[in-house]
Structure 1
Amino acid sequence: MGSSPGVRVHPLMTARMKAMPAFYDRPGGPKPLAMLRGIGLHVPRSKWIWLPIPAFLVEHPDAGPVLIDAGMHEQVATDVKGALGRLGAIAFTIDMQPQWAVPAQLRARGIDPADVKTIVMTHLHYDHASGLSQFPGATVHVDAAEHAAATKGSMKDGYMPHQLQTPGQQWETIAAQDDEVDLLGDGTIRLLRTPGHTVGHRSVVLRLASGGELLLTGDAAYARETVERSLTPLLTWKDDAYRESLARVQKWIADHPGAPYIPGHDTAAWAELAEVYE
C-alpha cells in the first residue's frame, strides 16, 4: 500500500423505485397500527415517491476499483419478473435504463467490471444486492450477522437469498461485534456498525484523495431529513437499534462540519451530489 492514500468516489444511481409516502417518516402510534397506516394501500401509486437505488464506485490507488453495494441488476431494466420474481414484479414500480446498471457505468468510466475484486455491502436487501451476480470474480465483505439473516431470510424481510449464490464469488464476513473495521488497513475504507435498519447494517467512511472524509450512511439514514429531524422510517429491524445508529450518524456529521455525507435513498440530495468526490 502507498503511504496515506485516499480514494475517489463516484455515486452511481442504478434505478429508481416508488415508495409509499410514509417511507421516510412512520406515522405515530403503536408500531403495528402505524405500519398499516404507513404502507399506503389507500394511496394511489401515482402519489408515491421516487427513490434512487444507489451504488458507489471507489477508486483506490492500490486496490483498484471497489464497489459499495451493487444496486439493481441490469436485467431489471427489461425483465423485472425475471430479476426479482413474480412477487417483485407485482409489488415494485421500478424505473431503470440498461445503461444505469453498474457494469455499464463502469465501462463508461473506462473500467472493466472484471477488474472489480472487492465489494462492500452496507446490507443485503434486494435493492442493494440485486447486482452482485454481475461480479462473479469479486470478494464480498459484509457483517456476519447480516449474512446469516439474509441467507435464511425471505422477501418479507427484504432479502432474496438466491442473490447471494453466484458461483465463484467469495464472501468475507465481518465479526458482528466489531464496532469499526478498517477494510484495507490503510484508513481509506472504514465500516461502522450501524444496525437497526437490518441486524447487520454497516455505514461506510471513506478518506478522500484530498484528505477529507465522506460518509455513506446507507439505510441508517434514508434522507437528509432523517438526519435533521431524527425520523424513524416506516421499515426497521428494531426501532431502538435504528435510533442508536442514527445518533451515531448524527454525531459523525456534527464532528465533521462541512464534510459531505450521502444518505441512502434521498431523491432531493441525489440531484445535488457531485459526480466525483476526491
Structure 2
Amino acid sequence: MKRCRVHILRAGSCSHPAVMTRRDAGLAPAVFPALAALIVHPDEGPMLFDTGYDPAFFAATDPFPERLYRWTTPVTLEPGQAVADQLPAFGFTPGDIRAVVVSHFHGDHIAGLTRFPEARLFCARAGLAQVQRKGRVARVRRGVLAALAPADIDARAVFFEDRAQVALGPDMAPFEAGADLLGDGSLLAVQLPGHCPGHWGLLVRQSDDRTRFLIADAAWSSGAVRDDVPPPRLTTALLGQTGPYRETLNALHRLWARNPEVIVTPSHCGEVEVETRRAD
C-alpha cells in the first residue's frame, strides 16, 4: 500500500455555543478551527481533503439569505490562512493540486474549491445534489452555499459511489468497506452517515505507517469520539439525521476503543489543531 505524507492545515475558524456540538457542553461561545489536510501521494503528488475557509466564503455570504450563514456562525480568517495561500510553505502552488477530496458540501469545507482549477473533485453524488437543489433558503438552512462550487464541477466530479469498494480489514472494525479513490489502496473514502447527505470520511496510510481517519464532521472533537457524546438533537436534526449520526459516532467510538493507534481526526477539533505547526 502506498504511504502518503499528511499535513493538517488550519484554514480559519468559526464560533458558536459549545453545546451545539456536544450536548453536555455549556452555552458559552467556543472557537472551532476549520481544518483541511494536504496529502502528498508518492506518485500522484499533492491533494487535499477539504479546503476550510477562504476569502470566497465572504463573497458568497454577502447577499441575503446567504448572509444568515455568516451571522449564525461568525467566521475568522487571517491573511494567508486560506489553504491556497499556505501551499508555498510546502513547495506547491494551487495549480499543483491534483485532486480535492470533498467530505461534504458545507461552506466551511469547500470555500476554497475554486482556487484549485486543475484538481479532480472526489465527492459523493448525494452531496453534490445538495448544491444543485432548488431554493436558496433551503440550501442555506442546510449549510450549503452554491456559489462556492466551481462552475465546471459536473465535468470534474469523480463520485465515491462509482469507485471500487474494498474491504478494510479487522483493524478498522466496525467499518467494513471503503471506496478506493486512486486504485492503489492509499486513499479510501468511507461513508459516515448522519451529519448531512453525502457525508464521507477518508482513510490514509501515512508515511510513518500509521492510519489516519479524516472524519470531517462525524464528530466535532476527538473528545466526543472518546466519550461517545453526540451533539443535541436540535443540531443533528437541523443539518442531517439524528439516528444515523449517533450510530456513526458510536461506531467511531468503538473503533477508537479497540484500536487507538488509528488517528481519528475531526475537522473542527482543537486537539487536532496542534498538528498544524508540524508535518506528519
- 1:271 alignment partner, SS class: helix
Give the gaps of 5 or more residues in structure 2.
Answer: 166-176
Q: Distance in 2 between matches of 1:121 and 1:218?
A: 9
1:252 aligned to which of 252, 255, 258: 255
The residue aligned with 1:228 is 226
The percent of aligned pairs where both chains have the same amino acid is: 27
Q: When the two structures are aligned, how many residues end up with a matched partner?
A: 254
What is the CA-CA distance between 1:26 and the residue it aligns to? 3.4
The residue aligned with 1:92 is 73
1:114 aligns with 2:95: yes
The residue aligned with 1:12 is 9
In the superposition, the TM-score normalised over structure 1's length comes to 0.83
Structure 1 residues 184 and 252: CA distance shift in structure 2, 3 A: farther
Q: Distance in 2 between matches of 1:7 and 1:125?
A: 26
Superposed CA offset, 1:198-237 (max 9, x none): 1211111110122221111110111122112222214221
Q: Which deviates the most, 213-222 or 243-252?
A: 243-252
What is the CA-CA distance between 1:273 and the residue it aligns to? 6.1
What is the CA-CA distance between 1:174 and the residue it aligns to? 2.0
1:24 aligns with 2:21: yes
Amino acid in the other structure paired with 2:62: G
1:155 aligns with 2:132: no
The residue aligned with 2:161 is 175
Q: Distance in 2 between matches of 1:128 and 1:90?
A: 17
What is the CA-CA distance between 1:171 and the residue it aligns to? 0.9
RMSD between superposed Cα atoms in Å: 2.4
In the superposition, the TM-score normalised over structure 2's length comes to 0.83
Q: Distance in 2 between matches of 1:189 and 1:256?
A: 19
1:265 aligns with 2:268: yes
Equivalent residues of 2:215, 2:266 under 8 A apart: yes
- 1:209 alignment partner, SS class: coil
- 2:18 alignment partner, SS class: coil
The residue aligned with 1:135 is 116
What is the CA-CA distance between 1:91 and the residue it aligns to? 3.2
Q: Distance in 1 between matches of 2:241 and 2:2?
A: 37
2:149 aligned to which of 164, 179, 182: 164
What is the CA-CA distance between 1:182 and the residue it aligns to? 1.2
Structure 1 residues 190 and 73: CA distance shift in structure 2, 3 A: same
What is the CA-CA distance between 1:264 and the residue it aligns to? 2.3
Q: Which deviates the most, 263-272 or 63-72?
A: 263-272
